[in-house]
Structure 1
């Protein structure tokens, strides 16, 4: 009788902190009870997950997890006590984590961590004293950290750092790839990444107008971005770092009107993006960087409707995205760049109502995302790109209520995310994806 009772208890225990393949589990109830620890900024570094969370005692601080309860711990109480350090903009460079945080003494400045309390250090107090430099837009470019910061004297400018105070330097008066010097306003600039040499590539919007170059992606050694030259609206531009090579790639929406380009994504040799033109409104486009090689992929929402393609994500050389179709609502689509190769993956919420797939992430050969099929609320789904291979992976908060699942992040064969199961508040969960097979959440192993 005792053995039977023990077996029943074992089968009904929640799988907390256990990497049972394919089964979602609560990694750790960081803030015990219904109050959430609200993990955020999930960032993988050398097989570990770093994030910020609030355990109710230390405020929002830096945490680390290897996917087990025992291996999920506070890295450092940067601002001792219940006050919040609010680590933000977490970015990995050469195996070191960089981020902004406020220790209550130096203001919000640049920090680094190797995952230990002793190795969690202020890199530099760029705006000396309690004032903040507010480091932001942290980026790993060829193994060097670049970021924006305000040192209290020069405005918000571009900086680089090797992780030491002496090696943290302001380059010149410019924002990353953009500059506002009150003469050329926001324009495209170039800099040698290992020096302080910078120069204006091209005054795209001559005079006092601002080109606002942004959304940079690289394809075959060419930089593509969105900018406005004052004649064509916000359109697709390209540059190889010289004045001669910096030019309008294509005027998607001819004339002064904006194309409202979004989601620049490279798949193989093709650049995909969402764009507006007066003929078909907002649809999916593709480009090889030339006007003749730039075209609309397909008009998914014909007439006056918009498809609003977004969440553009590459998997196995195929582009996956969310789009609005009059018959299906917002659902998951895929394309190889051709009309015949563009198709609905599956209509998760049958009819014109939308499942709103989002947070698409590739992991272990599968596409994971959040969606609402009208029965389970927003929960975790999995797809191999076919209708038959698209299924609910886990209904963590059973029934039609939403589990608030978000921040899907893949690290070392684990899919991490934040979710509310209705019992523990928003906490850190994970799934081991080693040869994972879809299973219903919290189903005990047999």
Structure 2
């Protein structure tokens, strides 16, 4: 009997390990997807772009090819360089999110020395090609900026002459890539996409005569200004149009609504103070039911959670008195609630709201360095420091007990500083630093995920 007991103990321990691993697999743990830049403590600094089907595209620097386009299917073997567009150590792309999904492929900006041109890829090296070289004889040093995609075309600002930028469209073929209208977009400015209304693209640009919103249906006659000359800082689809934030002067911004014409633009509320530390506030607006939620400081109540139903009378602060100063960029919709982060004194807090004062409730107190805010698969993801660990990824289901650290990626008081949560379909991606591999791409599945050990580089 004494000889059998030790064997049973070994078997029991083995079973316990198997149970632990099985539970880890079923619960899912964040895992380092791939050490893309294997140099000691070097970072690939991934920038996530778009998910198309089961493939997510991102920019990264592996230390050998410079910053280039990569793809992943959430496995290590499936995380690959798409193409070394600019061969060698020099970058082939610039670090911005000028990329859109279009008809199952990715349209993005890439280098054709010395200018940035528009490229398209199906995820293969041979299927990654330049759509057009707008000025092959005389490089102008003008970067092409993707600004949006509809069902019919993808749109970008390019330049074929020294006179400035023009609006272009493409159907994904070289023959179907053409200029729509010459807007004389100023060189050195950064036009960007602002969503779609129907089959028209809305974008912000600075031309020789104005700065503001434009809308285009792909024709010269159907390209017109929408105003918003002070600059825009966020938008969300609403009804048959958009609700957006626009700067009214250097110190204030307002919330507006449009259905795609100047006549339909309505100022819902204005005079919100611009936080000098958050120059692009509010860059996140969230929809819930028939309302759009945003953060704003009206000069009386501090920065609080607001909502609008698209009318002047229906635009109001949610709760007075409300939480402490609500963080811009932390608002996200989960189920029937809006989640957001706030600061009370020197303490960070997690809150949720159903849009009423009575339904605005504190979820978790006593946090520090809380930031971010992303909704994915019925939960709210953010980053914070609980005083026992460094700044790590957290998850919340809206209850105090269900708000917890997702994983101690950089063990102990070290911080992994996770950021740019990104929806990869069945996988949540984000960047983090485990203290050994630098800032790299991590993945998490709340269904299943491989359990990987934190191993040092050789």
Alpha-carbon separation, structure 2, partners of 1:259 and 1:121:
34
Q: Which residue of 1 aligns with 2:365?
A: 347
Structure 1 residues 311 and 441: alpha-carbon distance in aligned structure 2, compared to 1, 3 A threshold? farther
Structure 1 residues 124 and 440: alpha-carbon distance in aligned structure 2, compared to 1, 3 A threshold? closer
Is the CA contact 1:394–1:441 (under 8 Å) kept in the aligned structure 2? no
TM-score if structure 1 supplies the norm length?
A: 0.80
Alpha-carbon separation, structure 1, partners of 2:302 and 2:420:
30
- The equivalent position to 1:362 in structure 2, one of 372, 375, 378, is 375
TM-score if structure 2 supplies the norm length?
A: 0.78
Q: Which residue of 2 aligns with 1:417?
A: 430
Alpha-carbon separation, structure 1, partners of 2:327 and 2:263:
34
**Aligned-pair CA distance for 1:389:** 0.7
Gap runs ≥5 in structure 2:
1-9, 186-190, 192-201, 274-278
Is the CA contact 1:33–1:423 (under 8 Å) kept in the aligned structure 2? no
Alpha-carbon separation, structure 2, partners of 1:300 and 1:157:
49
Q: Which residue of 1 aligns with 2:404?
A: 391
Structure 1 residues 180 and 365: alpha-carbon distance in aligned structure 2, compared to 1, 3 A threshold? closer
Alpha-carbon separation, structure 2, partners of 1:149 and 1:190:
16
Secondary structure of 2:44's counterpart equals coil
Two-structure CA RMSD over aligned residues (Å): 3.5
Is the CA contact 1:416–1:430 (under 8 Å) kept in the aligned structure 2? yes
Q: Which residue of 2 aligns with 1:250?
A: 269
Q: Deviations over 1:182-219 (max 9, x none)?
A: 55x23444322x43323546667xxxxx4435533321
Q: Which residue of 2 aligns with 1:381?
A: 394
Structure 1 residues 243 and 108: alpha-carbon distance in aligned structure 2, compared to 1, 3 A threshold? closer
Q: Which residue of 1 aligns with 2:287?
A: 266
| Superposition pairs of residues 113-152 of structure 1, within 5 angstroms | 113-128=121-136, 129-142=138-151, 144-152=153-161
Which stretches of structure 1, 4 residues or more, deviate above 6 A after TM superposition? none
Q: Which residue of 2 aligns with 1:432?
A: 445
Q: Is residue 318 of structure 2 the alignment partner of residue 293 of structure 1?
A: no
Is the CA contact 1:27–1:69 (under 8 Å) kept in the aligned structure 2? yes
Is the CA contact 2:100–2:146 (under 8 Å) kept in the aligned structure 1? no
Is the CA contact 1:38–1:426 (under 8 Å) kept in the aligned structure 2? yes
Structure 1 residues 137 and 311: alpha-carbon distance in aligned structure 2, compared to 1, 3 A threshold? farther
Is the CA contact 2:327–2:340 (under 8 Å) kept in the aligned structure 1? no
Gap runs ≥5 in structure 1:
205-209
Q: Deviations over 1:163-185 (max 9, x none)?
A: 223323333316654465555x2
Q: Which residue of 2 aligns with 1:240?
A: 259
Is the CA contact 2:370–2:382 (under 8 Å) kept in the aligned structure 1? no
Is the CA contact 1:413–1:432 (under 8 Å) kept in the aligned structure 2? yes
Is the CA contact 1:396–1:442 (under 8 Å) kept in the aligned structure 2? no
Q: Which residue of 2 aligns with 1:83?
A: 90
Is the CA contact 2:213–2:225 (under 8 Å) kept in the aligned structure 1? yes
Q: Deviations over 1:42-81 (max 9, x none)?
A: 5322111222222222222222211222212221111112
Alpha-carbon separation, structure 2, partners of 1:163 and 1:41:
22
Alpha-carbon separation, structure 1, partners of 2:264 and 2:160:
34
- The equivalent position to 2:64 in structure 1, one of 51, 57, 63, is 57
Q: Which residue of 1 aligns with 2:52?
A: 45
Q: Which residue of 1 aligns with 2:344?
A: 325
